[in-house]
Chain A
């Protein structure tokens, strides 16, 4: 099954064409690394696949849903780790995850366990997210995705700002997700760091996919 199918996708942010005709196919259970220089459109590609951007041109299908017409349906089924972590600064780590769990109809009882998995010690859990370090924020956001166990993981620079132990935790999480049958698309502008995780590497330049190596 094809999980992501993009054909000539153009996404415009303001007046800037972040994606300028991107084509991409990702099959189920694949783990794909998207690499490329800053500004190549990697983040936009991932957000697009999460149903957050309208298409200006082209066609896109994610998890069998047409992104032209069914963006809300896609949003409810993927796990997106964006550049910005989509957490509420004024709520604590636990409150953020409980809100997420209730809103997304996930079991609230599993929140502590998800935080355990990401190595967020209990002393951090009652701290407002706004006071966390960048790495701790990303781990909180990843815990939210782990809680959802989505069919499609979209991870934008999952290793950014993480120290070595945290990076290992995240790597394990990705490997486990892939092993359990999920599709994973992750981006990195430092390919070396994430290359071990993915069997396939896609290169983006200038808002398009320019190379694809299995």
Chain B
């Protein structure tokens, strides 16, 4: 296909721009999966680096999450027993708000100056772009959740009974939230009403997270006697399903410009 019949100009020797190896080599199926992971890691690394540079998560989202937790305290009249009972639900409602903000920011970075075309033209599979962006969003949400756990310990006076259950719940629920959030945010990106439509789309779909993660926290914080690990299974299903949806559906969305 190459117009130049001459042999490859050769990689090591710096050469003037010649019609060289322009196409990504198309590897065998097995290594294609590996390549996709590599691309996803590349995108995640890029997003996290940009995020770290602007410190928006640390500087704006963490205070936002803390503020919401404190405002719940005012709203519930700072009644400790009530707060302790409501802590799991309030925690995950706050996490949902954080997801909306983080996913919104993540897509906004891609929309500016059509920069996402770089990855498209580089030949990165849209599924890999999605996985990378969702992973970066998940890392940010997890970081905020870490602070929020400290927050409910201090302000709501809860006690942690099972650290592994807390950690596992956060991981499973956050993966699902980040996946659904990233997909839906990409979907409304570029429309004028995106700020209002994203919550409308995400909240109903995220209902299982609110229910299941809050019940798992009930168990982990000892606010109710439930089997937290059963809920964890549901969260895992939710996450796997939404990651798969995102990987599959990101392509058609990326083509629509």
**Per the CB under 8 Å rule, do A and B touch in the complex?**
yes
Identify which of A148-156, A189-197, A198-206 touches chain B: A148-156
Could you tell me if B118 and A52 are in contact, using CB atoms closer than 8 angstroms? Answer: no
Could you tell me if A151 and B24 are in contact, using CB atoms closer than 8 angstroms? Answer: no
Chain A residues with Cβ under 8 A from B1's Cβ?
Answer: 63-64, 151
Q: For the complex, what is the distance from the CA of A82 to the CA of B114, rounded to whole Å?
A: 10
A85 within 8 A of B: yes
Chain B residues with Cβ under 8 A from A145's Cβ?
Answer: 17
B18 within 8 A of A: yes
Chain B residues with Cβ under 8 A from A173's Cβ?
Answer: 17
Q: For the complex, what is the distance from the CA of A181 to the CA of B20, rounded to whole Å?
A: 9
Q: For the complex, what is the distance from the CA of A78 to the CA of B122, rounded to whole Å?
A: 9
Could you tell me if A52 and B123 are in contact, using CB atoms closer than 8 angstroms? Answer: no
A214 within 8 A of B: no
Contacts A181-B3, A183-B3 hold; do A88 and B123 have CB atoms under 8 A apart? no
Chain B residues with Cβ under 8 A from A180's Cβ?
Answer: 4, 9, 16-19
Closest A residue, CB atoms, query B121:
A75
Could you tell me if A78 and B22 are in contact, using CB atoms closer than 8 angstroms? Answer: yes
A72 within 8 A of B: yes
Could you tell me if B22 and A90 are in contact, using CB atoms closer than 8 angstroms? Answer: no
Q: For the complex, what is the distance from the CA of A176 to the CA of B9, rounded to whole Å?
A: 14
Smallest Cβ distance from A149 to chain B, in angstroms? 4
Smallest Cβ distance from A73 to chain B, in angstroms? 8
Could you tell me if B113 and A86 are in contact, using CB atoms closer than 8 angstroms? Answer: yes
Chain B residues with Cβ under 8 A from A113's Cβ?
Answer: 14
Closest A residue, CB atoms, query B39:
A103
B25 within 8 A of A: yes
A110 within 8 A of B: yes
Q: Mark B214-257, 1 if CB is under 8 A from A, else 0.
A: 00000000000000000000000000000000000000000101
B46 within 8 A of A: yes
Smallest Cβ distance from B75 to chain A, in angstroms? 37
Q: For the complex, what is the distance from the CA of A177 to the CA of B257, rounded to whole Å?
A: 30
A56 within 8 A of B: no
Q: How many A-B residue pairs have CB under 8 A?
A: 133
Smallest Cβ distance from B206 to chain A, in angstroms? 28
Q: For the complex, what is the distance from the CA of A199 to the CA of B72, rounded to whole Å?
A: 71
Closest B residue, CB atoms, query A89:
B112
A33 within 8 A of B: no
A32 within 8 A of B: no
Chain B residues with Cβ under 8 A from A90's Cβ?
Answer: 50, 53-54, 109
Could you tell me if B117 and A86 are in contact, using CB atoms closer than 8 angstroms? Answer: yes
Closest A residue, CB atoms, query B257:
A52
Q: For the complex, what is the distance from the CA of A77 to the CA of B24, rounded to whole Å?
A: 8
Chain A residues with Cβ under 8 A from B24's Cβ?
Answer: 76, 104-105
Q: For the complex, what is the distance from the CA of A78 to the CA of B123, rounded to whole Å?
A: 10
Chain A residues with Cβ under 8 A from B9's Cβ?
Answer: 149, 180
**A window 68-84: CB within 8 A of B:** 71-73, 75-80, 82, 84
Closest B residue, CB atoms, query A84:
B114
Identify which of A17-25, A94-102, A158-166 touches chain B: A94-102
Q: Mark A168-185, 1 if CB is under 8 A from B, else 0.
A: 000001001100111100
Sort A-B residue pairs by CB-CB distance and give the 5 closest, nearest first.
A76-B123, A180-B18, A181-B4, A149-B20, A103-B122
Between-chain CB contacts (< 8 Å), 5 pairs: A73-B23, A80-B117, A90-B50, A149-B20, A150-B19
